[in-house]
Structure formats: C-alpha cells, structure tokens
C-alpha cells in the first residue's frame, strides 16, 4: 500500500490523477493505494472509510506493507490512518521496531454513511465488517519514503491501544473525562461542549468555552453570476453577517 503525503499539510493525495470522488470534502485528498506483490488495487473511497485491501489484508496471517512518500524537501511527522477489520494488530517500522498505534472505533453513523455511499458508487454493500481506523505516527525523510508493516499481533506483543468511545447518554455525572496519561479533556454531558483542559504533568488546569452556530448559504442570482457568486464548495458566502445559533440538542460521542 502506497500513500503520498499532501504537500499542503498532513493529508494524503492521489498519485496518478487529479480526479477526486464525488462529494469529497476540500480538506481531505484521496490516496492512491495498492498492495505490494499482490497486484494493483485502488482505494478511492478512503474518505468514507472503505478500502478492501486494508480491511482484508490480514487473512491467513498476511501482513500489510505501507509505503509513505514525502514529496517535500523537509522531514515530515504525520499521523497515518487506514481502516481495518480486526483489533489484534501491531505496527512496525522497516527496522522491526514496534510503533505506537491506536485503534479508533467507528460509530454507527460513520458505518451508515459508508454503507450508503459504497452502495451508491459501486452498486454493492461492503462485504467486510469494518470496526476501526488504525492510526499511527509516521516519520518520513525529505523527498523520500518510509516503510511500515501492519500485521496480526502475537500473544506476547503489546498490540495497538483501543480507544474508548464516551457517550453523553451513558454518562452518570455532569462531566465526561477523556484522555490517557497526563492529558485530560472534560466535556459537559448536558451541553456536549469542552469545558476544561487538564495537564497533570505541568499541574495546569484551564477552562475552555465552546459554542456552535451556522450560516445560511447565499444562493446567488441569475442576473449577474459573477457579482453574485453563490456559496458553494470553493466559496464560503453566507446569506447575512450573523450566525444562527443551534438550539437543538442531540447525543454526542467523544
């Protein structure tokens, strides 16, 4: 599997074409991927958590080789994410050293979007039961590449850390505390907003304020399209200068 780091930031981009799948957000480029030694296969739907080569890579004890290319002239430290279907995985670099990795559980809302758009694009539903995003930090030299191997963890291996999903509906207190180690984030279970940041190592506790709102998009006009550009994928043009506050409240997950 080959991923090329986007020159603009910590994203991926497709290597052999400028096309992008319909509905792709502007913040995320899509990657050209293929499994080494097993023929070429594309994963154009990574933005909706769909990549069959990575989801089925560990059948029969096989490993997945991830090659990350850096097109820039300076060293890059980026977080790589690939969808996987199993919890018992471990990541190692080209020297055989274990790399800290994390498994991020997928929510039902994400899986619903995945199933809907895979059906729309490919005419079939995903065959694999996807469970996690596997995330790990990659160090890539300037104008070079780094190789990582993802495989099934042995009983003696530490394996990837599985993150916990917290829900406001399951909270028995007014606050939801998340974070492992010295860094903690506290969210209000009632409002679903970040309230405190805690760093136990530096003995720092800071309050935080968070609010939500949205703007109605300007629809433009047919009389003078150039002077009346509508709000769209490339242009943020609200229909007014005041944001609209969201009054509704729904369950949230962190």
- Domain boundaries of the chain, sorted by first residue: 2-162, 166-254
Mean pLDDT of the 106-133 span: 84
**Residues above pLDDT 90, as percent of the chain:** 9
* For residue 49, pLDDT beyond 70: yes
Under CATH, to which class is 2-162 assigned?
A: mainly beta
Evaluate if pTM is beyond 0.75. Answer: no
Whole-Å CA distances, 10 to 25, 139, 147, 182, 202: 15, 12, 17, 25, 28
Enter the DSSP assignment of 238.
B
């Amino acid at each position: 599997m080959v991923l090329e780091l986007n020159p603009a930031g910590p994203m991926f981009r497709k290597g052999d074409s400028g096309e992008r799948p319909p509905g792709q957000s502007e913040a995320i480029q899509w990657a050209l991927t293929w499994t080494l030694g097993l023929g070429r296969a594309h994963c154009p739907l990574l933005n909706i958590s769909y990549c069959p080569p990575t989801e089925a890579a560990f059948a029969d004890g096989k490993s997945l080789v991830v090659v990350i290319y850096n097109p820039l002239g300076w060293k890059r430290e980026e977080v790589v994410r690939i969808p996987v279907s199993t919890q018992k995985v471990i990541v190692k670099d080209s020297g055989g050293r274990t790399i800290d990795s994390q498994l991020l559980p997928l929510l039902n809302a994400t899986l619903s979007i995945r199933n809907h758009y895979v059906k729309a694009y490919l005419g079939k539903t995903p065959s694999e039961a996807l469970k996690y995003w596997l995330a790990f930090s990659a160090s890539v030299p300037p104008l070079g590449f780094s190789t990582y191997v993802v495989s099934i963890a042995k009983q003696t291996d530490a394996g990837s850390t599985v993150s916990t999903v917290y829900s406001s509906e399951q909270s028995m207190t007014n606050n939801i505390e998340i974070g492992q180690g010295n860094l903690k984030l506290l969210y209000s279970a009632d409002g679903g907003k970040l309230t405190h940041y805690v760093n136990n190592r530096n003995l720092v506790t800071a309050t935080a304020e968070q609010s939500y709102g949205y703007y109605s998009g300007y629809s433009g006009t047919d009389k003078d399209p150039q002077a009346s550009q509508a709000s769209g994928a490339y242009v943020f043009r609200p229909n007014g200068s005041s944001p609209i506050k969201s009054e509704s409240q729904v369950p949230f997950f962190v």
